[in-house]
Structures are given as structure tokens and as C-alpha cells.
Chain A
Amino acid sequence: MASISTKPPLVTLRLLLSEIRKSSSSKKLADNQMVQYIFSQYRKHQTTDQQLCKAIDEMHFKAKTYCDYLVNSRRYKEINADYKGKGERSVEETARMVGFKMPHEPKPKRN
């Protein structure tokens, strides 16, 4: 029998938990509603592994899909944040780039 850490559904479970830990706003992982649900589903479907049943594949496929979703949306956001432009340069910045200075603004009169 495969050891517990190499069983594919459990590998997916660990990945899922690590992704949820990164995205969740609650401090304790056990408080998260999604984590509680995933655990209940994993427990519910664990016996089908021994029987020849289609459901384990279906559930595992779903878990993998959700995992893909979480991993890739996070990755997308990270890359986007890394390379995001700062918008347009101001007139002063552009002038400085080509070695010009902006003309001085007239000073407001002091009393």
C-alpha cells in the first residue's frame, strides 16, 4: 500500500489546504468554512477508494480542478502585481528624462 503522503487524493488535499491558507482571511485554518467542508467531503468519500466506484475519481477530479483554480488565480495576481505599470509619467518626469527643466512657476506674492 502506498504511504499516506503519496496517495494522489491526499497530495491534492495538502495542496488545497496550503492554497486556502494563503488566501483565507481568518487566522485559524480550522475556522474556515471551506476547509471544514473539504474535510467533511474527504471523510465521506474515503471508503469508496476500496470499492470499484466512479465517485472517488469524480471527487478527486473536482478537488484537483478547484486546486488548479486557486493556484492559477493566485499566480495570475502575483505576476500582474509584479509587472504592473505605474501609469503615465508626469510632464516634469518626462522633461527630466530628456534633460530639460520645466519653466519656473511665478511665485505667489507674500504679504
Chain B
Amino acid sequence: MLLLSPTVTGLLRTSCTRCIRYQNYATRKRFYRGTGIVQSDKKWEVTLDHRRLKTPNGHVLAVNSEPLARAIAAEWDAQTEVITQPTMHLTALCNTALDNPGKLTKHDIAIYFLEYFSTDTLLFYSEEDEELRLLQEKEWGPILEWFQKRFNVIQEVAKGLEPPPVNTNTRAVLARYFLSYDFPALSAMSFGVEALKSPLLMLACVERRLEPKQAVLLARLEEEYQLRQWGRVEWAHELNQAELTARVAASLLVIHSSTEKHSTKAKTTPEEVTQ
């Protein structure tokens, strides 16, 4: 056989499109050294070296809160040789809020939550397994109780497969609550709701009743229960848990940073107090 030098074989291999098979999704190389933030018109922008970060639609990525911009800059800074965009949830959430690819309004998202609410994970208890049911009552019960107290409503759980009724008062209270948030917060909330499969758990997170870790554990309660008997598989269960927690935490960061501007007051620093 004709002997080809390694460089030539390498060239042949890369030119063959069928041979690029070690890549699962399109990646880009890291093209910047440092990341930073700049302020313009009361908004915060992220810079990669001296270029401004933009959304896929070409708008400049500008957010209302400084910590969020810093977190996005840190996220871009954490990329090594290639930029793995599928794991950059904060950037993705801000992109979605700015570009709004689904052309949604606040009302659309609020209606979506209300529809989702009657099929909330926390409203469906196991019927076959008595032990699982007891566990669910022990873990989910307090959250449902907290919800009823916090919003001053009554919500019953499902009997069988039929979704439980949600009365008009509950719907009205929840709609008012959801609409009090701005669009970026609501679109982030829908990302969290879809991860947890439960608007109730997401509300508990938003209201700081549960941490993201705890909420994900409650959302995966049946899985955790089954794991005790069948064992834990790292590439399925651990991976799923890590991904869900990262998603919920990212959406919470966006929600809280979009609401804090209404509530923050400048505090005097400790040095000023002592003076």
C-alpha cells in the first residue's frame, strides 16, 4: 500500500464529512480571553474582550441587574477550549427573554401556568404503593399546606387519573400573582416549571420556601424511592438531578434579579456606620 505521511492522512480525514463523528453538537472555539461587564443607560451589558455579547437575533444582551450580568460574564469566563452553549442556562434565559422566539406575551405564559396547575406533580399521589404514598404525604404535604396558607386558597389533590378541579378563586389569585412579574421573570419561571414538572414547587422556590436542591428532590421523589430498591445509576439519575438543579437554580437567579430592583434600598456600609 502506498505510504502516506501522517499530515496527508490527517488532511484526508478532515476533508471527509462522514469522518467528523466525534462531535455531538456544533461547537465554537473560545475566541476571547477575558470577560467583563459595562453599564449603559441603567442596563448592564456583558463584554467578551472588547466586543459586546449579543443574542442570536443580534440584539445587544442587556440586563437590568448587575449581579446577573456578572454571573453571565462568569459563565462565559468558565468556558475552556470550546463554548458549550447547551449548559449556559443564564445566557440562554436572557437570550430567550430578549429575542422572544415564541412571540409570547405575559398573559400567554400566565395562562400556560394555570393550565399546567391542575396536572401538577404534587397533586398526584401514588395509588399502588402504600409506602410511597406515605412518603409523598410526608414530603409533599407540607408544601401544599404552605401554598394554601400563603395564597389563602384551598386546593385538593387528585383522585385517580382525573386532574383535580381548580376553583375560580385560586385561578384568579394565581393569575394576579403571575402577572405581577415582568416578562423575563415569567419566561424564566416557565423554564423552571418545565424542569420541575410542577408550578407549585416553582412557586415555593420563588417565595424562598425551598432551595433548588430540595425542590428537585421533591420533584424526583418517586425516582428516589425506586432508587432505594433498584440502585443508582450515575449517568442517568445523577445526570438528571444535576441538570434539573442547574436549570431551576438558573431560572431562580433570573427571577430574583428581575424582581429585586423594586425592593432594594441602598444600605449604608459597615464603614459608614462606624464613622
Contact = CB atoms under 8 A, between A and B. Distances in A.
Given A65-B256, A72-B249, A24 B77 contact: yes
A66 to B, nearest CB: 6
B273 A47 contact: yes
Interface SS majority for chain B: helix
B70 A76 contact: no
Interface SS majority for chain A: helix
Given A33-B70, A43-B269, A44-B267, A68 B213 contact: yes
Contacts of B256: 58, 61-62, 65
B24 interface: yes
List the 9 closest pairs (A to B, CB-CB), nearest first.
A23-B78, A69-B249, A87-B21, A72-B246, A75-B242, A72-B245, A76-B242, A68-B249, A83-B235
Contacts of B74: 20, 23-24, 32-34
Nearest to A69: B249
Contact of A62 (B2, B89, B245, B253): B253
Interface of B: 1-2, 21-22, 24, 34-37, 66-67, 70-71, 73-74, 77-78, 80, 84, 87, 89-90, 208, 211-213, 234-235, 238-239, 241-243, 245-246, 249-250, 252-253, 256, 260, 267, 269-270, 273
Contacts of B22: 86-87
Interface residues of A, number: 43
A66 B270 contact: no
B239 A68 contact: no
Contacts of B37: 33
Interface of A: 20, 23-26, 32-34, 37, 41, 43-48, 55, 57-58, 61-62, 64-66, 68-69, 72-73, 75-77, 79-80, 82-84, 86-88, 105, 107-108, 110
B201 to A, nearest CB: 14
